[in-house]
Amino acid sequence: MIYSADCLEDNFQHTQFHQKLLDSMKFVGWKKERVVAEFYDGKIILVLPDDPKYAVKKAEDVRRLADNELGFQQVSLSCPSQAKTYLFVNRDRMIVGCLIAEHIRRAFRVLAQPAQTKDMTREDFMEHHRAWCCSTLPEGAICGVSRVWVFSLARRNAIATRMLDTVRSTFTYGSPLTKEEIAFSDPTPEGKLFATKYCNTPTFLVYNFVS
C-alpha cells in the first residue's frame, strides 16, 4: 500500500490495511487439517467446499487477498462446489500461498511469440510481457489453475511450484496429473513467467480468458 507517513489519516488507513492483511494470512491451526504435503519450511493444507465454515471462510479471505493483488475482479469459478483450495502455511503459521484448482475439460495453447529483438522499444517490451495469444483449437485438459498467489515477501522460494506439484499429485484420486493436463486461467505477466518455467514451455495451456 502506498501512503504518506506524514499524514495522520494515511497512517491510520495503512495500519488498518496492514492489520487486515495479517488477520487474513494468520493461521491458528485447525483440529482437522487436511495436510497434503509437508516441507522443512511449511506445509500445504487442502480446503474443500464442504469443509467446516471456519476453513471455507479462511480460504475465501485468502482468495480475496489474492484477487485484490491481481488488481481486478477475477473470473468466477466455473463450479465453486468442486473447487479445491490449497494453502501454503509457513513455519510462522502464516498463509503465504494460495492456489485454487478446478475441474476443466478443455483449454487452449498459448502461441509462441517471436523472440525479443534488440531494437524493441520499451513499449514493445512491456507489451511483449503483458499480452499473449492462444490457439483457437481446444485441447483436452483436466485441472484449471483459477488462482495462484504467493505473498510478495515469500516469492521465488518455489512455493507456487510446490503447490502445483501437490495439486498434480492430489487433484484426481489415484492418478497423478502430468504438466500437460494443467491449464492456467488468464495468466498475469508473472503467472506467464511462472507457467513457462513450470511447464518447461512458453506454449502452456490457458482457459477462462476474455476473447
Which stretches of the chain are DSSP H helices?
Answer: 8-25, 53-70, 122-130, 159-170, 189-198
The partner residues of 46 in beta bridges, in order of sequence, read 86
Confirm or reject binding of residue 108 to ligand COA (CB under 6 A). Answer: no
Contact assessment for residue 42 and residue 175, using Cβ atoms and an 8 Å cutoff: no
**Candidate residues 23, 50, 156, 210; the one interacting with ligand COA per rule CB under 6 A:** 156
**Candidate residues 78, 157, 172, 203; the one interacting with ligand COA per rule CB under 6 A:** 157
182: left (phi over 0), alpha (psi -120 to 50) or beta: beta
Confirm or reject binding of residue 193 to ligand COA (CB under 6 A). Answer: yes
Confirm or reject binding of residue 27 to ligand COA (CB under 6 A). Answer: no
Eight-state DSSP code of residue 114:
P
Cell of 61: 479471505
Confirm or reject binding of residue 184 to ligand COA (CB under 6 A). Answer: yes
Confirm or reject binding of residue 191 to ligand COA (CB under 6 A). Answer: yes
Number of residues lying near ligand COA (CB under 6 A): 20
Where on the chain is the footprint of ligand COA (CB under 6 A)?
69-70, 148-150, 155-161, 184, 187-188, 190-191, 193-194, 197
